[in-house]
Structure 1
């Protein structure tokens, strides 16, 4: 079934929906953030939240039920907490839509509607999860409330993979420069704003901390001046993700401050990769994190190579029961 067909069927069975819950763990939870951000800023009636899976399991929303849509996500479809969340949501009477790369996985088997996305085929395929989730959110909004920029959103969905693929050759030398300059750093801070804030969290938490064992923290460019900016000093490494959209002034302000005190700044800017040339202006904001996350995959590979520390290397994951 297409995403449009899935939502059409859900609406036929559940004509009155009050809330949409996005549920996952780790990077998969982060991948749901853009869709949640979109709904918060565009829905006039639908309520929405993004909840980590075990919090959803142990402390579920009181209104979870037949007037909820629950969207769960796990790349391999085996994350125990997310599978349990899907089961519990269905038991409460909510329709469950999942996103996964594995059609035969436990997550797919415990959802009413699995959406299968690519991952391994290309850099743009790695962004199918984010893109399909955003498309799903837009479809839910269109069918339950109406969405005036729906056609523009569908054009963006069509074009974003080509934007990512075109960006990769330009990103590689910049990623290699970042890796050379930061391979021996003990801490790297990552900052973003608006819809891309969670991409900063993803790179910090999962590429740097999980996959590279590099101390890191992430924060919103808007919150930077309410605490974290006290850490800025000459030569301290920061990565700044810059949007081509509404929250760009926050990114520019942060960059000016970092440069003022001669921090070691790596800028990854959606404008450098022509996002606004391809994606309609009315929906451009929501495609920033998809483009930036796709580009950052190259940065992750580059620093792993420079540090001689494969992205698959772990201390605890896959080795211990915890």
Structure 2
């Protein structure tokens, strides 16, 4: 069942006043653009975004039959997220789950399941983000109405091809990044807008989990409220730069980084032609797609340069924790 049909069916059963996005790590981050979209556009719907175990142990009181809980887990086996489905279901919420694994534990307590791709190509890795965003767009349009609905649909039709081609075109820059950053002990990552949690997942997953590189992440707007004190010559930063409403926030951070000769890698949605195919009215919500696809190539090249495969782990899937 597609997102439009799922939301239609839910609304035939109950009025919806709340939507809660729940996941862990990269899956939590993949839900953020949908949360951001509703924050920016919904006038009546309440919106929240939880890491799974916080949702389980400190479940918000608004979770009831008037709530949609949207969960995500790539393999469908993340224990905390599987439990979140059960918690939401017990409180009468409508549960929609995103996973690549049909029949996985995540699907047990889900009312609706959307199966997405991942390994097929760079575009497929964006499907989880895309389906979550489509659910958000449909929920808004079917409850409150959304003036730019058709612009969003046009964006969905085009963004996967653009992201795939952007990733394929980024290999040269990615190799340069890898050579320059492969020996760093710590790398800081920042962004803003809908891409804020792409920076988060870049830091906690691609750097810390997959490369064992110490990393910190913060909103580019928060950079000037504490983190900028560690800026100095050759201190390594990754700036994921948006083409849209929050670009001035990212540009301000970049100006300061360059002022003090920080070692800065920039992945900029503007460089990959985002504004040439996505309408200005909705461009903010599509930055995370292109930037995620491109930085995946950067991560692959970093892994090669460090001789440390992205699949290598010390603890995950190996210990009880």
Give distance in 2, aligned partners of 1:34 and 1:46.
16
Structure 1 partner of 2:54: 55
Structure 2 partner of 1:8: 8
Structure 2 partner of 1:319: 318
Structure 1 partner of 2:110: 111
Give distance in 2, aligned partners of 1:86 and 1:145.
26
User: Structure 2: which 5+ runs fail to align?
Assistant: none
Give distance in 2, aligned partners of 1:203 and 1:321.
25
Give per-residue Cα distances to partners, 1:172-219, cap 9 Å, x unaligned: 111111100010010111110111111111111100001100010011
Give distance in 1, aligned partners of 2:216 and 2:284.
24
Structure 2 partner of 1:216: 215
CA-CA distance at 1:116 after TM superposition: 0.8
SS at match of 2:317: coil
Tell me whether 1:193 sits opposite 2:217 in the alignment.
no
Tell me whether 1:184 sits opposite 2:180 in the alignment.
no
SS at match of 1:32: helix
Structure 2 partner of 1:120: 119
SS at match of 1:70: strand
CA-CA distance at 1:168 after TM superposition: 1.8
CA-CA distance at 1:2 after TM superposition: 1.4
Tell me whether 1:43 sits opposite 2:36 in the alignment.
no
Structure 1 partner of 2:263: 264
User: Size of the alignment, in residue pairs?
Assistant: 321
SS at match of 2:170: helix
Give distance in 2, aligned partners of 1:306 and 1:314.
17
Structure 2 partner of 1:33: 32
Structure 2 partner of 1:151: 150
CA-CA distance at 1:87 after TM superposition: 1.0
**TM-score calculated relative to the size of structure 1:** 0.99
Give distance in 1, aligned partners of 2:145 and 2:212.
45
Structure 1 partner of 2:230: 231
SS at match of 1:31: helix
Give distance in 2, aligned partners of 1:99 and 1:319.
25
Give distance in 1, aligned partners of 2:3 and 2:306.
41
Aligned-pair RMSD on alpha carbons? 0.7
SS at match of 2:244: coil
Structure 2 partner of 1:277: 276
Give distance in 2, aligned partners of 1:136 and 1:64.
18
CA-CA distance at 1:170 after TM superposition: 2.1
Structure 2 partner of 1:93: 92
SS at match of 2:43: coil
Structure 1 partner of 2:159: 160
CA-CA distance at 1:296 after TM superposition: 0.9
Give distance in 1, aligned partners of 2:287 and 2:248.
15
Q: After superposition, where does 1:55-74 map in structure 2 within 5 Å?
A: 55-74=54-73
Give per-residue Cα distances to partners, 1:51-80, cap 9 Å, x unaligned: 111111111011210010000000010111
**TM-score calculated relative to the size of structure 2:** 0.99
SS at match of 1:130: helix
Give per-residue Cα distances to partners, 1:261-315, cap 9 Å, x unaligned: 1111101000000000111111110000111111111011110010000111111
CA-CA distance at 1:109 after TM superposition: 2.4
SS at match of 2:316: coil
Structure 1 runs of 4+ with >6 Å offset: none
Tell me whether 1:245 sits opposite 2:244 in the alignment.
yes
CA-CA distance at 1:169 after TM superposition: 2.6
